[in-house]
Amino acid sequence: MGVVNVTPDSFSDGGQWADTASAVARGGRLLADGADIIDVGGESTRPGATRPLAAEELGRVVPVIEQLAAGGAVVSVDTMRAEVARAALAAGARIVNDVSGGLADPAILGVVADSDATYVAMHWRAHGDRMQQHAVYDGPGGVVAAVRDELAARVEAAVAAGIGRERLVLDPGLGFAKTASHNWALLRHLDALDELGLPLLVGASRKSFLGTLLAGPDGTPRAVDDREHAGVALSMLLAQHGVWGIRVHDVRATADALAVWEAMAEPDRPEEQG
């Protein structure tokens, strides 16, 4: 899943693809690099982010989705708003990637239920301007048990709204109301989320916990645009785990590494033996 942020303030590439033409071109580049899905978002969800008006979000994403979908791309809309999801589906999106799992705008579940779209429900506790205040997981089992149980509740809500389980994908929500140690715990224990019996989408690309991991001698985190090698390494581990999707900014680097992994996993051909 290649990321196209049609925003001025996303943490990794805010402003680079903020107009329709550059965003469409970016999506085309990601497809050429090997993306299976293009995830188009018009709202930054980084810590501290202020939400745009719905009309502004619509103006950012709908024209981009229309053009990419018309060209044959499988497009996902990254939104928490029912209004935006409805317009995006009408424009040709086939996946609704809701980082709030239906908590920010419960009506989004009905919008998806009335379509044939796939719905990605991410673990979420609050909007970006206050989400890190909710990064507390003191119950039995810590963050892993809490995320599993809270995602299970979102699955129940989605199914109750009419979304079939076969159309559901779950996302642990790395970095959303989570510290670096919370993120690593979730990544080490994805098997606990597998217990829910649904595919997983994981988005770790360029996130701050990788910057912290790669901090310099003075403790300064590695810059956002210099975390790609670590992200690719993590993507390979996620692929080996068997996740449904890996959400990344640099599609080519990840696709190249996946090609190597897949070649190594192939059984030997007769001419290669001996």
93-115 as b/e, with b when 16 or more CB fall inside 10 Å?
bbbbbbbbbbbbbeebbbbbbeb
**Is 207 annotated as catalytic?**
yes
Residue of 26, 81, 207, 222 marked active site = 207
CB proximity list for 258: less than 8 A, separation 6 or greater: 34, 235, 236, 239
Tell me, yes or no, if 247 is annotated catalytic: yes
CA distances from 174 to 186, 226, 264 (A): 8, 19, 29
Q: How far apart are CA 79 and CA 8, in angstroms?
A: 16
Give catalytic residue positions.
207, 247
